Amino acid sequence: MKKIIAFSLIVLFFAINETHTVFSQKPVFVVTGYPVKFILEEITHNVADVTALVPPGASPHTFAPNPSDIRKVQNAKALFYVSEELDGWAAKIQAKNVIRLMDYLPEEYKMNFAEPHKHGNESHESANDIIDPHFWTDPLAVKSIVGKLTEILVKLDKANEKSYRDNAKLFITRLELLNLQIQARTVQIRGKTIFLFHPSFRYFIKRYGMNYGGAIEIDPGVEPSARHTGDLIAKIKKSGAKAIFTEPQLNPGPAKVIAESIGIKLAQLDPNGGVTGRNNYFDLLFYNMIVLINSLK
């Protein structure tokens, strides 16, 4: 009888433990890249697990998911991506819920590409028919979607509604403060012309009063033609720009050639983060702000 009671207690213990594990398991949301992860983490703040598919050092423009990535998505409550112009491959993955962030960005915050642009097999000869997806480089653009993202998360995970709403309020306050801090510190480079590696910081440039001069690679991962490079060098010389920029996710070769040929500084901006020192939204924005100030002042 004692053995039966002991065995029953052991079975009951494991049954209770397993039930507790099931009910205490955090909801899982999968995102394409680190900028989206950073935004969602500020709203979920340890209540949920947010997993990025694109690893640090890789570009969401050129990334291709593997079978394990697809399994992660299928097991998650939702998949969040930006738009076809950045990480459109995500829209082809079957998921319980697919959330396209660009659908929630108000029209007044959206920017069209400045140059004819190519995405996949589609060429866009006009700059007016394709939206620049890099909205997260503007804190106020991010602020504009926090409310809608919060409602989506609440709908997907009602149990954590209070945490999501409280976290969202704090995030909005911090974004407003971040904007004021960047605004104050970039006064010294306001009006400067900036030449990017690819058009990933145009929202930041516009928000803080700088001018976009052009980009080395209009289509990420596609080396520029000799004609485009020559035209860009002429623009850089005419502008008097002190630096051009690389990105850790793309081959810096073309930028190095241009910098050496005209004798200007080469610095690195990072639109994606996910590495030490750039592992949350605020650190990522501050890092890029400091790079721009040190390179252009």
Q: Is residue 21 over pLDDT 90?
A: no
- Global pTM? 0.87
Kindly give the residue spans of alpha helices, DSSP state H, lying in the chain: 2-24, 34-44, 67-75, 84-87, 139-156, 161-185, 202-207, 226-239, 253-262, 281-296
38-95 confidence digits (pLDDT tens): 999 999 998 999 999 999 999 999 999 999 999 999 999 999 999 999 999 999 999 9
How many CB atoms lie under 10 A from the CB of residue 97? 13
Residue 188 in this model has a pLDDT that exceeds 50: yes
pLDDT for 129 equals 72
Work out the pLDDT band at 128, boundaries 50, 70, 90.
Answer: low
User: For tokens 């959206």, what's the residue?
Assistant: 110
Residue 120 pLDDT greater than 70, yes or no:
no
pLDDT grade, residue 116 (50/70/90)? Answer: low
- Evaluate whether 27-181 and 186-296 have a shared fold: yes
Does the structural domain 27-181 have CATH classification 2.150.10.10? no
Above 90 in pLDDT, residue 283? yes
Judged against a pLDDT cut of 50, whether residue 171 lies above it is answered with yes
Domain boundaries, the chain: 27-181, 186-296
Averaged confidence pLDDT in the chain: 89
User: Residue 14's pLDDT is what?
Assistant: 44
Tens of pLDDT, residues 189-241: 999 999 999 999 999 999 999 999 999 998 887 888 999 999 999 999 999 99
According to the model, what pLDDT value does residue 18 have?
42
Q: Cβ of 193: how many Cβ atoms within 10 Å? A: 18
Residue 104: is its pLDDT beyond 60?
Answer: yes
Under the banding of pLDDT at 50, 70 and 90, the label for residue 263 is very high
State mean pLDDT over 245-252: 94
DSSP structure string for 108-161:
GG--B-SS-EEETTEEE-STTSSB---GGGSHHHHHHHHHHHHHHHHHH-GGGH
pLDDT of residue 11: 43
66 neighbors 73 (Cβ within 8 angstroms): no
Q: Which long-range contacts link 47-56 to residues 24+ away (Cβ below 8 Å)?
A: 47/157, 47/160, 47/163, 47/164, 47/167, 48/153, 48/157, 48/160, 51/76, 52/274, 53/90, 54/87, 54/272, 55/274, 56/272, 56/273, 56/274, 56/275
Most confident of 8-17, 27-36, 116-125: 27-36
What integer is the mean pLDDT of 142-157?
A: 98
pLDDT band at 119 (very low <50, low <70, confident <90, very high): very low
- Per-residue model confidence (pLDDT) at position 117: 52
Architecture of the structural domain at 186-296: 3-Layer(aba) Sandwich (3.40)
Please give the pLDDT value at position 159: 97
